[in-house]
């Protein structure tokens, strides 16, 4: 019987891992520039955490969560997103308060039971940031700028920032009533899912991707038209800050996020090089979530990006990803040289040079082929003659040139070249 990876999952193979390492390394370096620190939470949490934060009527909670009972009958869920777990961890460990700004980032796998398609998997990886403690629009713009700068450092092009405001607890009810009124007269021409959303969560209709619904959605009321003075002022201030920061964006009054905790400003970074699932990054304000989960009212803003989608854009943009290259492949000829080869390899590694050696009893020709396959910059060849002279033959694998080098000078010579 042959086992396969579960549907909607995949293996990241050694030849694919450099691009993952490149994205993660670039993210860590970029986040550090803005003083964001890493947080890691468990892969599973209480099911109620996600039902309360994401929204009990959202597609994620009703259809997509991997939920199970543990041996004591407690309902647990593999995390479908990371904002709620980060808030839970912050409250449990007293990391946030209304009088200070706390900046955090995370990297890790998420899980949603979805129909696998291009850019969507049942296990997928996200990188995100969360900033707590301030309602200042300047913090919103910092988060959006951080996302854009990260993509720029990665070498991504063809990106656009879409911005909207979905209102707050003061102004959203009036908007939702108007939205219901509009869609009630049109719902017979729309998909069955939109019919369900109309009663439970009409805002989600704006996120419907069904072609039959799109034309009607475009004519629906816009949330910005119902924004209260506070929401409008925050949104307009954010747009001014974005302009000063020279961040290109456009107002997309159809933009809503698939999680109920968003309030006020929301945004997405989209790529023209992807298909229907074109968002590589999304986020916004969630000023009520901390209090909804039992803490004091603390404003917050953040974003999450899908690593798989970022990789798709990197590939389609022909961005070259730096690969870790082996410095030296040690070739030993004869039994006596074997022990010396091990020692040379360890000496190279101790000095920060990557090294490998052939572990098979083969001829010199076969060992040279192994060195070539390894992709090493240099081959270090040691045989009987080299042992006598306390030296090694150093071969440049790119141009084929070689020279004899004293063992005491080997590290210095490789580093010099």
The whole-number pLDDT of residue 273 equals 67
The model's confidence at residue 255, banded by pLDDT at 50, 70 and 90, is confident
H or E stretch including 167? none
pTM: predicted TM-score of the whole model, two decimal places: 0.89
317 vs 229, residue with greater confidence = 229
The whole-number pLDDT of residue 91 equals 97
Residue 118 has pLDDT above 80, yes or no: no
pLDDT tens column, 177-216: 888 888 888 888 888 888 888 887 888 888 888 888 888 8
Mean pLDDT over all residues of the chain?
90
The model's confidence at residue 275, banded by pLDDT at 50, 70 and 90, is low
Cβ atoms of 49 and 41 within 8 Å: the answer is: no
H or E stretch including 236? helix 229-244
Residue 318 has pLDDT above 80, yes or no: yes
Residue 112 has pLDDT above 80, yes or no: yes
The whole-number pLDDT of residue 199 equals 80
Q: What is the share, in percent, of the chain residues with pLDDT greater than 90?
A: 59
The whole-number pLDDT of residue 63 equals 85
Exposed e or buried b per residue across 360-389, where buried means at least 16 C-beta atoms within 10 angstroms of its C-beta = eeeeeeebbebbeebebbbbbbbbeebbee
Give the CA diameter of the chain.
93
Domain 17-171+227-316 has CATH 3.40.50.1100: no
The whole-number pLDDT of residue 277 equals 62
Q: Which stretches within 38-191 are classed as H helix?
A: 47-54, 59, 83-92, 137-154, 172-184
C-alpha radius of gyration, the chain, whole number: 28
pLDDT tens column, 333-372: 988 888 899 999 999 999 999 999 988 888 889 999 999 9
The whole-number pLDDT of residue 245 equals 85
Spell out the residues 6+ positions from residue 411 whose beta carbon is closer than 8 angstroms to its own.
347, 348, 351, 353
Pull the structure tokens for residue 291.
């209090």
Domain 328-416 has CATH 1.25.40.10: no
Pull the structure tokens for residue 145.
């700028």
The model's confidence at residue 276, banded by pLDDT at 50, 70 and 90, is low
Q: Domain residue spans in the chain? A: 17-171+227-316, 328-416
First to last CA, the chain: 50
């Amino acid at each position: 019987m042959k086992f396969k990876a579960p549907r909607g999952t995949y293996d990241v193979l050694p030849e694919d891992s450099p691009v993952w390492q490149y994205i993660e390394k670039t993210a860590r370096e970029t986040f550090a520039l803005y003083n964001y620190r890493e947080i890691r939470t468990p892969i599973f949490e209480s099911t109620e955490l996600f039902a309360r934060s994401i929204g009990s009527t959202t597609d994620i909670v009703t259809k997509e969560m991997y939920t199970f009972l543990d041996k004591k009958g407690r309902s647990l869920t593999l995390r479908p997103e990371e904002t709620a777990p980060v808030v839970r961890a912050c409250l449990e460990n007293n990391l946030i308060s209304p009088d200070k700004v706390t900046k955090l980032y995370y990297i890790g796998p998420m899980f949603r039971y979805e129909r696998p398609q291009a850019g969507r998997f049942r296990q997928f990886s996200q990188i995100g940031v969360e900033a707590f403690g301030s309602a200042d629009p300047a913090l919103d713009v910092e988060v959006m700028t951080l996302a854009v700068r990260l993509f720029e450092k990665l070498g991504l092009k063809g990106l656009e920032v879409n911005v909207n405001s979905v209102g707050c607890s003061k102004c959203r009810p009036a908007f939702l009533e108007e939205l219901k009124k509009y869609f009630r007269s049109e719902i017979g021409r729309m998909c069955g899912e939109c019919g369900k959303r109309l009663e439970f969560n009409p805002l989600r209709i704006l996120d419907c991707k069904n072609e039959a619904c799109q034309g009607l959605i475009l004519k629906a009321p816009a949330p910005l038209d119902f924004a209260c003075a506070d929401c409008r002022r925050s949104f307009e201030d954010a747009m001014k800050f974005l302009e000063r920061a020279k961040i290109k964006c456009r107002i997309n009054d159809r933009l809503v996020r698939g999680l109920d905790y968003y309030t006020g400003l929301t945004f997405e970074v989209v790529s023209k090089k992807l298909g229907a699932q074109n968002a590589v990054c999304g986020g916004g304000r969630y000023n009520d979530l901390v209090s909804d989960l039992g803490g004091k009212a603390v404003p917050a803003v953040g974003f999450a990006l899908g690593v798989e989608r970022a990789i798709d854009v990197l590939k389609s943009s022909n961005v070259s990803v730096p690969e870790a290259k082996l410095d030296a492949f040690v070739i030993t000829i004869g039994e006596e040289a074997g022990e010396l080869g091990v020692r040379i390899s360890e000496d190279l590694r101790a000095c920060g040079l990557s090294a490998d050696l052939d572990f098979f009893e083969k001829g010199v020709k076969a060992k040279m082929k192994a060195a070539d396959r390894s992709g090493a910059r240099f081959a270090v060849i040691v045989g009987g003659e080299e042992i006598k002279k306390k030296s090694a033959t150093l071969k440049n694998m790119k141009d084929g040139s070689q020279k004899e080098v004293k063992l005491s000078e080997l590290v210095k010579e490789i580093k010099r070249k």
